[in-house]
Structure 1
């Protein structure tokens, strides 16, 4: 039942954001009552606190812009790495094998 409660609160918050109304627990409750939806009493206030100070419209419209920033930083870091290798003498590093759960004395079914 809680997933339908959450979904109802999400829709109510989106309606408020679309109408450019502040998202509060009371306003979410008002929309839910008008729609004839009953939810656990803590959900509207929980969503209101989570969305306090958040521009919901901007968050939805910029959902894909965060994915483009991470790959752009990777080539810059890769370009800087060879310059660092030339300055420092090369060291041979020994990679220790990581211990598995069985080696630590516990496993999935213990």
Structure 2
């Protein structure tokens, strides 16, 4: 049941953040209750505490703009004098499997 409770608390937290409403344990619990979902108080408190003082929208949007590989690739290529690019070109490309290869398609 913990996975269900976490999902309920997550959705309620995201709904509150999207609406621009302050995220509190009481509001998470109320939103879950209005959806007729049973949510233990501990999960509402955990999610409220985890998001306290943070802009959830900024956190979620930062995943698409930053990442560990994004900043390290140019630095590695510059340090290796282009050796990284040559190695990438020489690497064999894997072919993707398609449903047609298995004898079935989307509308079969």
Query: TM bucket by the smaller chain?
Result: 0.5 to 0.7
* Structure number having the greater helix percentage: 2
Give the corresponding residue for 1:74.
76
Seen in structure 2, the aligned counterparts of structure 1 residues 46 and 63 have a Cα distance that, compared at 3 Å, is same
Give the corresponding residue for 2:48.
48
Give the corresponding residue for 2:27.
27
5+ residue gaps, structure 1, are 80-110
Runs of 4+ in 1 over 3 A off after TM superposition: 72-79
- Alignment map for 1:8-19 (pairs within 5 Å): 8-19=8-19
Distance 1:73 1:47 in 2: 37
Distance 2:33 2:14 in 1: 16
Tell me how large the CA RMSD over aligned residues is: 1.7
Q: How many aligned residue pairs are there?
A: 79
Deviation track 1:64-104 (CA, whole Å, cap 9, x = no partner) reads 2222223344345657xxxxxxxxxxxxxxxxxxxxxxxxx
Distance 1:51 1:5 in 2: 17
Structure of greater Rg: 1
Distance 2:50 2:15 in 1: 16
